[in-house]
Amino acid sequence: MSDPLAAAEFINGFLDEAEEHLAIARSSLVAIDEALKRRARSPGAVRNLFRSVHTIKGLSAMVGAEPIVDVTHEMETLLRCADQAGGSLPAHALDVIVKGLRAIEERVLCLGRGEALPAAPRALLDELGSIQIAAPVQRALGTLSLPPELLAKLSGGEQEQLLQGLSRGRRALRVDFVPSQARAAQGFNITRVREQMGTLAEIVKVTPFTQAASAGAAGKVAFALLVLTDAADATIAAAAGAEPEQVQPILALAAGLSSFEDDAADEAWIAPDRGERNFVRVEVSRLDEALERLAALVVTRSRLERACSGLLLSGAARELGTIIAEQRRQLRDLRAAIMRARMVSVSELLARAPLLVRGLTRSSNKLAQLTIDAGQSELDKAVADRLFPAIVHLLRNAVDHAIETPEERRRKGKPEEGQLRISCSERSGNQLALELSDDGRGIDRENVAKRAGLPVPKDDAELLALVVRPGLSTLDQATHLSGRGLGMDIVKRIVVDELGGKLQLWSAPDQGTRFTLLVPLSVTVLEAFSFSCAERTFVIPVSAVEALAEIEPEHVTLAPNPGARPASARLLAHRGACVPLFRLSSLLGIPAKDRQSSKAILVRREDELFAFEVDRMLGQQEIVVRPLKDPLVTVEGVTGSTDLGDGHPTLVLDPLQLLQHHARLEALGV
């Protein structure tokens, strides 16, 4: 960077804007790739990609990130030629642009970490500079019913975009917006008009022009919005704050020949997509909601203070209880509103997946298409950041292991192109179910069992227990995609151990495989049970608990436990089954007194149920989990801490991790 001290104050803003335009670039690349599969042009996507790259170049120059400027300059030159050629971008050029985008992302991350930026790869710059785009296509002059001065401002790609829309049955319109004091008083300016029009139409171009002077009135600067839409003229006019006569149809015509012109200086506005860094873009309405909840809480707090000050004089204990209950409800609403501000769209989380699959299929010489159905689902930002690496591993495995080669799929009577699908839905209001499926060869149970040195699994639950074993791989030789025995182990560690969720599997020969990831919507604020154990208080998430039970002496039996300490194991009779029963105080290494009555917390791991004995249950409440980041105080089985209102830290436990840790210590003879 040329002047780090001068640019330091702009770095945070640069990172935010760069990630936003990288997100737009990724979605544009996906649209271009889809068009290439249909052997069609994608002028709108090419132009959006060009503008994003152009913006990143300008931002990078402002903060002195010269390596990014070098890459974006070559990409910009290539994309300008593609735009002039009517949105024509060959497949081999798209591959190189994907490499360029990856190089930009890597350097943006370096900048965010405060590291020195590596120089732009010389081979990449040469590859970008060597690509030649075909000359602009000759079209008939006046192919669109627009005035010559307005038609001259359209690039080849913009004209192609309008013509494509008309050929597909959409309506092309010119909408004129003329600023005035009256419209400004109504809140109409060009920014608001663009935003409202963006919800009703595909904006192709927004360009200023000068209205001709009329009798007694000077000429005015106005804006022409060229759009493709299916909405009615009246709806479009209302959104633009325009009169009905200011909405004019654009028709396709034909006449003499002329080549396209390009006007790079006159850029259209486009609606930005949401960025993806460790920063959440929040809708203003959500912040307003949080502010309203907070204002109500402040008022209630004042009432509480007044009631407390006069309590001894007036005996208003009943009124105080009512106010406290109201404050508790408002605090819950406030917390919910703030959590909504932390949520990100699952669609945003999965935005990189199509490009990832595209790269995987090209490097493995396979054909596969990814379909994403995320709906309106949202996740806490912290959960989304942890979950995405698991999705990457599942996609890698699907392409490398599950999807067959085109020749093999033809022999099986399948289409040459494999199908990958990601879908998700919310469950029980606090959990997200994300399914990743394929139509490939399925998991070979006998091969997996042979590799693990264990019996062939009888069902999908046993098969899942095998495929997530650390170090297990079904490949004889590692490839650049997989074969090192790490992928599924990492998926299980993220979903089950880190997020406290569940992992499920279904697989059938030559029908495909489906993984279901059940994860909490948030790991920051959650419902938890508090309980007492050895005269100390702990909590456990409600989502981790299968059931609660009273421990009656007649329901506990002893069974031989050879080779372990103690020599006998306790079993709890629960709903017709015998469940292993462990004293939680022993797993924690805390001496405890014998009690006449106690409770059992039952926790399930896959298809196994375990019971943990505690002294008594204290209640259920919403808690805020604080992670333990200091490695000196990190303990297996302790996932964080919380404050139950008494000012003292209370540990959040994972009993299954405690049990596994205890078993490892026993195996080592500790």
Instruction: Please determine, for residue 252, whether its predicted confidence score (pLDDT) is greater than 50.
Output: yes
Together in a domain, 176 and 242: yes
* Same domain (yes/no): 316, 253: no
pLDDT digits (tens, 9 = 90+) for 170-183: 888 898 888 888 88
479 and 553, same structural domain? no
pLDDT at 473: 65
| 265 in any annotated domain | no
Structural domain count, the chain: 5
**Dist. CA 542–CA 18, nearest whole Å:** 40
Same domain flag for 485 and 384: yes
pLDDT band at 628, cuts 50/70/90? low
Q: How confident is the model at residue 430 (pLDDT cuts 50, 70, 90)?
A: confident
CATH assignment of the domain containing 659: 2.40.50.180
Angle between helices 353-364 and 91-112 (to 10 degrees): 120
Residue indicated by tokens 């152009």? 54
Domain boundary among 298, 321, 344: 344
CA 254 remoteness from chain centre: 46
Q: Per-residue pLDDT tens for 63-95? A: 888 899 999 999 988 888 887 777 778 888 888
User: Looking at residue 195, which CATH number applies to its domain?
Assistant: 3.30.70
Same domain flag for 498 and 625: no
Position 265 pLDDT exceeds 70: no
pLDDT, averaged across the chain: 80
Question: Quick one: 529 and 512 in the same domain?
Answer: no
Same domain, 543 and 470: no
User: Is pLDDT at 559 greater than 60 in this prediction?
Assistant: yes
Tell me what pLDDT residue 317 has. 67
Residue among 80, 93, 97, 91 nearest 38 (CA): 91
Q: What is the pLDDT of residues 31-53, one digit of tens each?
A: 888 888 877 777 888 888 888 89
Helix 11-37 to helix 43-62 angle, to the nearest 10 degrees?
A: 160
CATH classification of the domain holding 13: 1.20.120.160
Q: How do strand 577-583 and strand 608-614 relate by DSSP bridges?
A: parallel
Q: What pLDDT was estimated at residue 474?
A: 61
Instruction: Tell me what pLDDT residue 307 has.
Output: 72
Residue 502: alpha-carbon gap to chain centroid: 19
DSSP 8-state class, residue 555: G
Where residue 277 falls among pLDDT bands split at 50, 70, 90? very low
pTM: 0.63
> Within this chain, do residues 661 and 581 fall inside the same structural domain, yes or no?
yes
Asked if 44 and 65 sit in the same domain, the reply is yes
Residues contacting 24, CB < 8 A, separation 6+ = 48, 49, 52, 270, 272, 273
In the DSSP assignment, the letter for residue 497 is: I
C-alpha dist (Å) from residue 558 to 493, 561, 578: 33, 9, 11
Domain end position, chosen among 520, 547, 573: 520
pLDDT at res. 487:
64
Q: Are residues 383 and 491 in the same domain?
A: yes
Neighbouring CB atoms inside 10 A of 458's CB total 9
Q: What is the mean pLDDT of residues 358-383?
A: 87
> Closest Cα partner for 369 from 431, 425, 320, 414?
414
Domain around 597: 525-667
Q: What does the pLDDT average to over 10-25?
A: 82
Identify whether the C-beta of residue 47 lies closer than 8 Å to the C-beta of residue 161: yes
Does the structure show a pLDDT above 80 at 5? no
* Average pLDDT, integer, range 229-241: 87
Percent of residues, the chain, with pLDDT higher than 90: 16
Query: How far is Cα 374 from Cα 356, in angstroms, rounded to an integer?
Result: 17
Between 358-362, 366-370, 536-540, the lowest mean confidence (pLDDT) is in 358-362
- Same domain for 373 and 294: no
Same domain, 186 and 231: yes
